[in-house]
Chains A and B, each alone.
Chain A
Amino acid sequence: MKRLLLGCLGLSLAGCDSLPRDPDHTLERVRSEKLIRVGVIADGGEGPGLGAASAFLGRVARATGARPALRRGASEALLLDLEAGKLDLVLGTVSPDSPWAAEVAILHPLAESAAPQHLLVSPIARNGENRWIMLLEREADSAAAGEA
């Protein structure tokens, strides 16, 4: 067991930069195909959130060298496609009470949506694609800081 622990430690130190990886290789695929498949929830990309979402997408595009391809639709359909790996990213609002909150990774919010609900517009990624999620979180934070 001691050897196993030492082995794990060595492996983890050696892999500091390369971890985490995506189980379904989302970031690798985005970089190699130079395409980000983005779903925009019909009521999420409008109003005050639109500018922030565009700035964020611009940053992600620059960071990956890929072009975003937008598809607008209802949240249910887009989130199902995200879960199935047919989309890389969804932009919009998902209530924390929604059953989807546990099925997908709702990242740091970009902006508040229009009144009266004041829901947060967030990038939403597929659960477990941790490398891709880290990049999206970094760009979301930078976009939020840039706006302020």
Chain B
Amino acid sequence: MSSFATVPAPIRKDMKRAIRLEWWNIGLTLSIILVMGLVLGNSQTMKTAWIEDTLGLVPPAVFLLSAHFERKRPTRDYRFGFHRVHSLSFLIAAVALATVGASLLWDSATTLVRREHATVGTIHLFGHGFWLGWLMIAAQVYSIVPPLVIGRLELPLATRMQDEVLFTDAKMNKANWQTGAAGIAGIIGLGLGWWWADAAAAAFISVGIISDGWKAMRIAIAELIDGTPRELGSTRPDPEAKRLVGKLQKQYPDAEIRLRETGRYIHAEVCGVEPDRRQDLEALWPGEPERSWRLAQLSFVPPDQS
């Protein structure tokens, strides 16, 4: 097991908590996949919800992977270390979230267009015949609770750690509990004879999920192609990064200031000037001092090479 020495001290505790939370997330999601799999029946909505729960494993898995690599020291072949694994994980998580939204929209649209009437029959338990719909509702209720709780616990950690993967997972958890709620409404609607109810509810929810997924993909791509650092969960420029540019520009009025993000860290380049003084990165950080770890590197590019 790699140590936490490479993780900035102010977020070390949060990182450990997030790792524990994601292991819980994976365990509970697997139990949901099992329970839902047992009562899938003939309902297309239940099948889609099951596929979404399976895709819900992607963000916690890639978070754990990136947390593992972040704690590794640079090697001979990877001199810059492994911070970029976080950016790559973010893109994978964002694609998984967008896929969930797209599959939900596709499923509900085809159900509505083809006017599919789902058959949900009888199940025999303890010598009695029950409508399988009741069991499906019970499974959906179980599938709602873990993502609702875990998603809420993840958000403050993601903010403190500036962790887009964890933030995207919180969105994925939101998508999963909302899909579960739509599923319950859908099964009850089906029971009332409204064959279109679940598809309509799912289509409504899918729009928000696609929007979140699309936004996350844009931020992830911006990060991978060295775009300006973005605010957590937003395509807007990061206000702390903007203030850092202003501060550096004041010190080096003739230079071009470039900032890029690798995972949670910011790398700053001052182009067109020689370094004239020793810089203290912590003192240079214009935001809250406990977040000064975000500025990981300041480099200078001489005038003739910029």
Question: Which residues of A come within 8 Å of B, CB atoms?
Answer: 1, 4-5, 8, 11-12, 15-16, 19-23, 25, 105, 107, 125-130, 133-134, 137-138, 141
In the complex, which residue of chain A has the Cβ closest to the Cβ of B129?
A: A138
Known: A105-B121, A130-B119, A134-B121. A20 touches B190 (CB 8 A): yes
Contact status A8-B129, CB under 8 Å: no
Alpha-carbon gap, A126 to B119, bound state (A): 9
Chain A residue numbers with a CB within 8 Å of B129 are 134, 137-138, 141
Contact status A20-B120, CB under 8 Å: yes
One of B118, B121, B191 near A107 (C-beta < 8 A): B121
Which of under 10, 10 to 19, 20 to 34, or 35 or more describes the interface residues of B?
A: 20 to 34
Chain B residue numbers with a CB within 8 Å of A15 are 188, 191-192
Encoded as 1 (CB less than 8 Å from any A CB) or 0, chain B from 108 to 122 comes to 000000001111111
Q: Which of B134, B137, B192, B195 has the most CB of A within 10 A?
A: B192
Chain A residue numbers with a CB within 8 Å of B286 are none
- For the complex formed, measure the closest distance between the CB of A56 and the CB atoms of chain B, giving whole angstroms: 15
Known: A12-B137, A19-B131, A20-B131. A133 touches B181 (CB 8 A): no
Known: A12-B188, A130-B121. 11 other contacts (CB 8 A): A4-B185, A5-B181, A8-B185, A19-B131, A19-B191, A19-B192, A20-B131, A107-B121, A130-B120, A134-B122, A141-B129
Contact status A23-B195, CB under 8 Å: yes
Where chain B touches its partner, the secondary structure class is mixed
Contact status A134-B131, CB under 8 Å: yes
One of A1, A20, A137 near B193 (C-beta < 8 A): A20
Contact status A21-B195, CB under 8 Å: no
Contact status A138-B122, CB under 8 Å: yes
One of A22, A127, A141 near B118 (C-beta < 8 A): A127
- For the complex formed, measure the closest distance between the CB of A98 and the CB atoms of chain B, giving whole angstroms: 16
In the complex, which residue of chain A has the Cβ closest to the Cβ of B144?
A: A5
Chain A residue numbers with a CB within 8 Å of B88 are none
Question: Which residues of B come within 8 Å of A, CB atoms?
Answer: 42, 116-122, 124, 129, 131, 133-134, 137, 181, 184-185, 188, 190-195
Chain B residue numbers with a CB within 8 Å of A5 are 181, 184
Alpha-carbon gap, A134 to B42, bound state (A): 14
Chain A residue numbers with a CB within 8 Å of B137 are 12
Chain B residue numbers with a CB within 8 Å of A11 are 188
- For the complex formed, measure the closest distance between the CB of B180 and the CB atoms of chain A, giving whole angstroms: 10
Alpha-carbon gap, A127 to B42, bound state (A): 10
Chain A residue numbers with a CB within 8 Å of B119 are 105, 125, 127-130, 133
Chain B residue numbers with a CB within 8 Å of A126 are 117
Known: A19-B131, A137-B129. A1 touches B181 (CB 8 A): yes
- For the complex formed, measure the closest distance between the CB of B201 and the CB atoms of chain A, giving whole angstroms: 10
Q: Which of B121, B124, B195 has the most CB of A within 10 A?
A: B121
Contact status A4-B181, CB under 8 Å: yes
Alpha-carbon gap, A130 to B134, bound state (A): 13
Alpha-carbon gap, A4 to B185, bound state (A): 9
Contact status B117-A127, CB under 8 Å: yes
